[in-house]
Amino acid sequence: MPLQIIRNDITKMKVDAIVNAANNSLLGGGGVDGCIHRAAGPELLAECKLLNGCETGAAKITKGYQLPCTYVIHAVGPRWIDGSHNEKELLKSCYIASLNLAKEYGCKSIAFPLISSGIYGYPKAQALRVAVEQIGKFLLDNEMMVYLVIFDRKTYEIGDKLYSDIKSYIDDQYVDEHSDSLSLQRARFVEFEHACLEEESVPLSSAKQKSITEWLNDIDESFSEMLLRKIDESGMSDAECYKKANIDRKLFSKIRSDKLYKPSKPTVIAFALALELSLEEIQDMLAKAGFALSHSNKFDLIIEYFVKQGNYNVYEINEALFAFDQSLIGG
């Protein structure tokens, strides 16, 4: 998947470039900045001294030296004051400048820390949203593997209200696979009985009937065929769809070329969200790949929560999935 949120030490990332949350002097400091300078060795500081500093919101590039990356991109994020001193625009500019530098130098992969969210005091949930939005916009028009590297749980937050709302939804909807009470079984039986009665009361002539050929086509249609049909019906191009889904171009090519391709569940969900399918349509697409949404699965409940809210943004949903220690969607 082109954008991944991972928990790791950024100095250990084997990518073309890592981004350093630097200060204006570019001469090292605390937090991520200090860790990167120590891991890179004294040669990094020597090169940084030749750069004559860097303005807030801008970025400059050096070699990686003793780091496993080829380049270090030094981005100077804003200090948080109160949110009314151009902090958001400056933080956006950091990500844009860093990504453009990486592209200019031919980088295929890049790793970011959560810029300004440490000693510069930018609220973590807001810093995360800026990072995901700007990286997401860049990936719509560019091919690059981007990692957002979180060192530990303390450095990662989604909004308190969103976290609380999702947690409440999970608590309300979660059903243990093996804990059906007698009352719940009875309720399900009554619901099933009512559904059967309603079905019997609908005259065949008034129902929307499919031809035998259409039914057989639905049964025979593979996941790959269903996906390509849905993309055509949506009016999106293939590239628009797989980029919106946070899917790698090579993976999409495999799916397109192999009628019987068996995707992972997160990949199916990613495409379903990119196509903005209803919950019923999502279940249909999952069934083509041998999966289903379940109320005994927190991952599924989080997906269901966002769909019911009308939010199909794969990157924002991944923020929440990461916060709840669930697999990310994409591929």
**String of DSSP letters for 174-195:** ---TT---HHHHHHHHHHHHHH
| 32-41, 61-70, 153-162: segment of lowest average pLDDT | 153-162
**Structure confidence by residue, pLDDT tens digits, 160-200:** 888 899 999 999 988 765 455 555 555 555 555 555 555 45
Catalytic residue set: 33
Return phi, psi of residue 41, to 5°: 95, 170
Q: Are 275 and 243 spatial neighbours (Cβ–Cβ below 8 Å)?
A: no
Alpha carbon distance 210, 137 (integer Å): 41
Alpha carbon distance 275, 105 (integer Å): 34
Beta-sheet strand order (sheet of 3-7) = 3-7, 145-150, 109-112, 17-22, 71-76, 59-63
Alpha carbon distance 313, 306 (integer Å): 9
**Structure confidence by residue, pLDDT tens digits, 44-102:** 999 999 999 999 999 999 999 999 999 999 999 999 999 999 999 999 999 999 999 99
Domain spans in the chain, listed from the N-terminal domain onward: 3-157, 161-181+209-323
Output the 3-class SS for 289-313: CCCCCCCCCHHHHHHHHHHHCCCCC
| 208-212, 276-280, 282-286, 318-322: segment of lowest average pLDDT | 208-212
**Cα torsion angle, 203, 207, 212, 218, sign:** negative
For the question of whether the overall pTM of this predicted structure is more than 0.85, the answer is: no
Q: Which one is the CATH code of 3-157: 3.40.50.10070, 3.50.50.60, 3.90.550.10, 3.40.220.10?
A: 3.40.220.10
278, HSE (Cβ side, Cα atoms, 13 Å): 2
Alpha carbon distance 4, 244 (integer Å): 14
Alpha carbon distance 283, 279 (integer Å): 6
114, HSE (Cβ side, Cα atoms, 13 Å): 31
Contacts for 204-209 with beta carbons within 8 Å, 24 or more apart?
Answer: none
